[in-house]
Structure 1
């Protein structure tokens, strides 16, 4: 029952990822062969491994990396609610992961705290955890789910909430914002552009802005699902 959830205990988040190298041919021989093996079934329709790498490497934690994690949380004020935003973005993935882990360890480290994402259970949360382990980082409490029972994993997912148990159904965040009449700013890039903006334009700031817009949309969607009013644009605070 969403109305019983304490908003102050939820950390909303989104990540942006890119392939570890911009071009498949820049991979070392072993990594290239392992990617070739992992995607061999996708190649059966005539799509080349280079094309698959461009399309999919960034969403595979073994072959991609995180370049931005944006987070938001909701505060109750005398006049309503406000959203506070923060982003961790860096060319060095280990640095941003350590910074994000510090936030979780310091502020979201109890059974009463929750993480929320759109398709977070299938993508954002496991991706972050896998990349942390690859860098030899200790998993924060909120991501360390090994051995926990399903009801002990405090992860919320707006996609899962919208499915209502229908595991075949996928609905994008932009579509849900549209049908719930949640105003969202027009983006100058999409998820498909992130790798190009990162490697060619070297514009992490632009990626950060794009990521933060998704987190704001995520929070507004959750509020709608909870039956609460939306937060006014003037009450969204960026740090």
Structure 2
């Protein structure tokens, strides 16, 4: 599977997002109404818009990106390795611009890979780029492209094998392939609290990087290759 994919042309990524405000009451009045309208059919019976607000990070109109982690494969002789780097901080525009700068240094044919990337990471990045007045880099700009011209890989989509009813979490795929869980400290539902209450961006960065490493390991499994050892993975510090 994926025999024609050159791993050295693949950039694996993951993003972490949070609501733009720490609590619903701090939202401008107009946005409180818009949030209520947007989530009316998603909330459980009796659940208020304020109670549901902790999930605002999953919607690009109400959330913001606080961390983008990327992994790039390289190969020396016959040894494959992965370099992982993160862009993170409170200033979303700065975080995204750093990521764009990285993409602009890469080939236009670079392949972007993420778990559930087609439904979440890729469109979320594009929406927040536009909201922040930033130009979408060529690797993410799919407007007008034919399906086979879009250089995106999605490990969840690959696992479906055409079964559109199938949702499989990154954590479950990791377990299936005997890969260490990336959720051994926090999971996505906890990022809101860790950011707005604990003010612990470093913890979120580490979590985001674990997701990138796990996605990269799963991609190797799709190519029937051995998982990388710890020695083959390098975390690039700021």
CA distance in 1, matches of 2:35, 2:120: 19
1:236 maps to 2:233: yes
Q: Does structure 2 retain, via aligned residues, the 8 Å contact 1:18–1:67?
A: yes
Q: Does structure 1 retain, via aligned residues, the 8 Å contact 2:182–2:211?
A: no
CA distance in 1, matches of 2:31, 2:18: 16
Which residue number corresponds to residue 83 of structure 1? 82
1:5 maps to 2:5: yes
1:123 maps to 2:131: no
The counterpart of 2:216, out of the listed 194, 214, 219, is 219
TM-score (norm 1): 0.95
Which residue number corresponds to residue 151 of structure 2? 154
Aligned pair count reads 236
Could you list the per-position Cα deviations for residues 92-123 of structure 1 after superposition, in whole angstroms to 9, with x for gaps in the alignment? 00001000000111114x1x311000000000
Cα 1:21–1:178 shift into 2, 3 Å:
same
Which residue number corresponds to residue 91 of structure 2? 92
CA distance in 2, matches of 1:186, 1:198: 16
Which residue number corresponds to residue 133 of structure 1? 130
Q: Flag structure 1 segments of 5+ consecutive residues without an equivalent.
A: none
Q: Does structure 1 retain, via aligned residues, the 8 Å contact 2:19–2:62?
A: yes
Q: Does structure 2 retain, via aligned residues, the 8 Å contact 1:42–1:52?
A: no
Could you list the per-position Cα deviations for residues 192-228 of structure 1 after superposition, in whole angstroms to 9, with x for gaps in the alignment? 1111111111111110000000000000000001111
CA distance in 2, matches of 1:185, 1:32: 34
Q: Flag structure 2 segments of 5+ consecutive residues without an equivalent.
A: none
The counterpart of 1:204, out of the listed 201, 205, 211, is 201
CA distance in 1, matches of 2:234, 2:228: 11
Q: Which structure dedicates a bigger proportion of its chain to helix?
A: 1
Which residue number corresponds to residue 168 of structure 1? 165
1:42 Cα offset (Å): 2.5
1:24 maps to 2:21: no
Which residue number corresponds to residue 40 of structure 1? 40
Which residue number corresponds to residue 49 of structure 2? 49
Could you list the per-position Cα deviations for residues 138-171 of structure 1 after superposition, in whole angstroms to 9, with x for gaps in the alignment? 1000111111111111110000000001111000
CA RMSD of aligned residues (A): 1.2
CA distance in 2, matches of 1:183, 1:32: 40
Runs of 4+ in 1 over 6 A off after TM superposition: none
Cα 1:177–1:43 shift into 2, 3 Å:
closer
Q: Does structure 2 retain, via aligned residues, the 8 Å contact 1:73–1:84?
A: yes
Mean CA deviation greater in 45-54 or 155-164: 45-54
CA distance in 2, matches of 1:118, 1:169: 13
Which residue number corresponds to residue 193 of structure 1? 190
Q: Does structure 1 retain, via aligned residues, the 8 Å contact 2:10–2:110?
A: yes
1:41 Cα offset (Å): 1.5
1:187 Cα offset (Å): 2.3
